[in-house]
Structure 1
Amino acid sequence: MDLLRFITCGSVDDGKSTLIGRLLYDSDSVSLDVLAALENRPTVHGAVDLALLTDGLRAEREQGITIDVAYKYFTTPRRKFIITDAPGHVQYTRNMVTGASNADLAIVLVDARQGVIEQTRRHTLIAALLGIRHFVLAVNKLDLVGFDENIFNQIAADYAALTDHFQLPTATAIPLSALHGDNVVSRSNRIAWYTGPSLLEHLESVPAAVEAANAEPRFQVQYVIRPQTDALPDYRGYAGQIQSGQYRRGDRVKVLPSGLESVIEAIEVNQQEVESAVAPQAVVLRLTDDVDISRGDSIIPVSHVPTLTRELEATVCWMSEQPLLPGRKLLLQHHSAVVKAAVPTILHKVNVQTFDRADAESAQLNDIVRIRIKTAVPLAVDNYHENRVTGAFILVDEQSGDTLAAGLIGAANADYFTAPVTPPVAFSI
């Protein structure tokens, strides 16, 4: 069975945690002990509080909101799933970015009483920038508006304006009530006017993302193995995880950033030599030549060498309460490689209401900005939309070690920001 990773996103109280809980509960993916404890808890409007299956922090249970990212796993006869429950509050946008970075599909929840609001637009923008290509518009709490078809159609039309502007595949709109299970796992008789699939049926049929194993080969050294024992006096291996693509014994490779070339003499997996290995396997590569290679260096087949540069243009989500100012010096961590860097220029900030570009002299917490970065040594990188593994990085504070930002190399699609979009008017019932 293949694997689908998806994230639930949207505004506070749209029902994200309850939806995930309902998926787990109705697909019989909750263990008996957890189920017994859950059913002994106070109910919500006469139903089991399924949000407790994902909201594990005490503060989350006290406030009734999601704060941190939670991961849940379940399997149906057709597919395996990894669910990311992301917080909806604007204060925790940085947590949502972390969760969305590995997702193949985004379920954007909308409260049927509110319609498309600012946080709906913000999360859609972030998901698009992070390379998610499949979207589901889950119009939740439809029971609170009498399962009104006109309200559902209006919300679906408003959201279609966003996906059209993003030039994304049309989002699949599904009406549901996560609290009562309408149209989540099974189709609901209370929404007779809707003839499409339930949410789970749709998730089981969405094409899986292209696996990293099919991308261009990338490998970054995490550890150099030199036992220097009597049994292995000349052994030199380079351990790490294949980030994408396939490596074969006999491949001619180039070491970056040095540019030296050699040939793969052997590939070891679990201390056994193999002819080939693919992402995301952990391997040890041995080369025919004694080449000076350190942690953070890349070993790439000569026919698939990526860009080697000291100047990057990237889209970042700023995650620190301390603002980013032009000229700031920091560390850039690109997987195992950690290099000194500086941000000479902030090119623009993205207005999440209109998707317009706006001049910015600084980046504040949760801002999405386009910046230029200069690094002390060259890095082997890819465009994020060509390789989500090697096109991503983080910025780190030199003194404290705190993560300051998550970045996507060359990720901004100019078409996303060419023309303003008039926000749809939110409505209430």
Structure 2
Amino acid sequence: MTETTTATTTRTAPDSGTEVTLPVNTDLLRLATAGSVDDGKSTLVGRLLHDTKSVLADQLDAVHRASADRGLDTPDLSLLVDGLRAEREQGITIDVAYRYFATPKRTFVLADTPGHVQYTRNTVTGASTAQLAVLLVDARKGVIEQTRRHAAVLALLGVPRLVLAVNKIDMVDFDESVFTGIAAEFNRHAAALGYAAEDVVTIPVSALLGDNVVERSGNTPWYDGPALLEHLETVPVTTDPHDAPFRMPVQYVIRPRTAEHPDYRGYAGQVSAGVVAEGDEVVVLPSGARTRVSAVDTPDGQRPRAAAGRSVTVLLDDDVDVSRGDLIAAADNPPRISDELDATVCWLAEKPLRSGARVLVKHGTRTVQAFVTELSARFDEQHLSEVDTPEQLELNEIGRVRLQTAEPLPVDDYADSKRTGSFLVIDQSDGTTLAAGLVGDPLASFAGADRG
């Protein structure tokens, strides 16, 4: 199933706050880029923006001027993406840069993530909603440690499709044997991570020169696959299935108490999975109270139903106790309620995680105190193996933990529902994010992992 826009829509870019108008009647693909430093991610994104004519004239003029100031004969297209001053000065991507572009066939929301190992946490952020990831490698270096790390993170997050872009193919004289060797090595690694062969496509590209980025290149006559943009336009896109069990975390209870609406009581939030419709039987968790939906209000007026991704206000038949942080779910297929979470975390903080740590867990719109009762294993993403009962998890490491929460939470396994199967671990002293957590054991599907 594809996610389709039916009218002109205006979206706000997460990094800049600017509004972007997207064209009508195009499929929407959310993708992310990943790869090591200097593999050319920003140049590739800049090339896509430039060659799809998604760059305003004044932006392009600014890039030409900046490139000339650096003594370059041709425009440095990476400057279209590396918007932070620190990024331009260092020549690297630091933050996640969101970019919007479109072709007549499809609209794209792209998250350009950093390549430096220090910013793996930003890669987790950018890839968390991606339907496809473009993982770059330098043709001169091949598959390296950071390539394997990013591939493991993408698999952990459940990104369903990968493109391996073997960049700078011009720097190895468009050598077919170099390309096939890199492709074979990566395909073996991807297969061990659980990816089917049809879900991984490898493309030789030169982001600097444009080979196989938007159009197929005559410099690679031995390659008979699609150009990158051609693949992005035609790859099947899966979204949250509408037949998934309904889930909606309550963000706000609306009680205007006006003369016009003296008895109005609605529960506002975003549908995180499934569909809600008037007359549906639902359960409020963690209390367990059951009732039926009497109406579904949206910013565009009352609707008979609303699907995942839509912000709504749900009205209920009965005057049950519902507060911010509660979850309204399908009564016939609710999540489980538990105060003990066996989960996988990607540790994002400088200070290490040790057993016994006291933290906060933010799940949906509810935040509760928690205690780390056990570090079960640390995952070695290079060899796809596990180290049992490690002493600690350090920055960018992935591991399995057990958390005891002060209050029960309604959770699904991440493999079943990404939104209600994910959470954040927060430092209770200063509010900083310590880890991204996934309920259950997504690593279990990794064919190469030693499960002990």
Q: TM-score, normalised by structure 1?
A: 0.95
1:142 to 163, 166, 169: 169
Matched, 1:30 2:55: yes
After TM superposition, list the pairs within 5 Å mapping 1:13-412 onto structure 2.
Answer: 13-42=38-67, 46-170=73-197, 171-211=200-240, 213-270=242-299, 272-359=301-388, 360-412=390-442
Whichever residue aligns with residue 406 of structure 1, its letter is A
Whether contact under 8 Å (1:356, 1:417) holds in the other structure is no
Whether contact under 8 Å (1:212, 1:243) holds in the other structure is no
SS of the equivalent of 1:413 reads helix
CA offsets 1:341-396 (integer angstroms, 9 cap, x no match): 11110111111221110131111111111111111111111111221122111011
Cα pair distance change 1:94/1:262, threshold 3 Å: same
Greater displacement, 276-285 / 9-18: 276-285
SS of the equivalent of 1:243 reads coil
Whichever residue aligns with residue 58 of structure 2, its letter is D
Q: Which runs of 4+ in 1 moved over 4 A?
A: 417-420
Greater displacement, 381-390 / 338-347: 381-390
Matches of 2:274 and 2:445, distance apart in 1: 29
Greater displacement, 7-16 / 206-215: 206-215
Whether contact under 8 Å (2:191, 2:447) holds in the other structure is no
TM-aligned CA deviation for residue 181 of structure 1: 0.4
TM-aligned CA deviation for residue 329 of structure 1: 1.1
Q: TM-score, normalised by structure 2?
A: 0.90
Unpaired runs of 5+ residues, structure 2, are 1-25
SS of the equivalent of 1:159 reads helix
Whether contact under 8 Å (1:244, 1:279) holds in the other structure is yes
Whether contact under 8 Å (1:134, 1:169) holds in the other structure is no
Greater relative CO, 1 or 2 (CA 8 Å, sep 6+): 1
TM-aligned CA deviation for residue 267 of structure 1: 1.4
Paired residue for 1:2? 27
Matches of 2:194 and 2:331, distance apart in 1: 35
CA offsets 1:241-287 (integer angstroms, 9 cap, x no match): 11111111111111100011111112111273222111211111111
Matches of 2:210 and 2:181, distance apart in 1: 22
Whether contact under 8 Å (1:212, 1:280) holds in the other structure is no
Whichever residue aligns with residue 38 of structure 2, its letter is D
- What is the alpha-carbon root mean square deviation over aligned residues? 1.5
Matches of 1:271 and 1:188, distance apart in 2: 47
Whether contact under 8 Å (2:105, 2:233) holds in the other structure is yes
Whichever residue aligns with residue 325 of structure 2, its letter is G
TM-aligned CA deviation for residue 195 of structure 1: 1.4
SS of the equivalent of 1:21 reads helix
Whichever residue aligns with residue 226 of structure 2, its letter is P
Matches of 1:377 and 1:302, distance apart in 2: 21
Matches of 1:274 and 1:172, distance apart in 2: 41
CA offsets 1:210-245 (integer angstroms, 9 cap, x no match): 235442211111111122233333221111111111
CA offsets 1:134-166 (integer angstroms, 9 cap, x no match): 011110001111000010011011101101211
Whether contact under 8 Å (1:133, 1:169) holds in the other structure is no
Matches of 1:271 and 1:35, distance apart in 2: 37
SS of the equivalent of 2:271 reads strand
TM-aligned CA deviation for residue 310 of structure 1: 1.1
Give the number of aligned pairs: 420
Matches of 1:214 and 1:57, distance apart in 2: 41
Matches of 1:406 and 1:228, distance apart in 2: 39
Matches of 2:103 and 2:240, distance apart in 1: 20
SS of the equivalent of 1:361 reads coil
SS of the equivalent of 2:154 reads helix
TM-aligned CA deviation for residue 409 of structure 1: 1.1
TM-aligned CA deviation for residue 42 of structure 1: 2.0
Matches of 2:392 and 2:423, distance apart in 1: 20
Matches of 1:9 and 1:180, distance apart in 2: 20
Unpaired runs of 5+ residues, structure 1, are 421-429
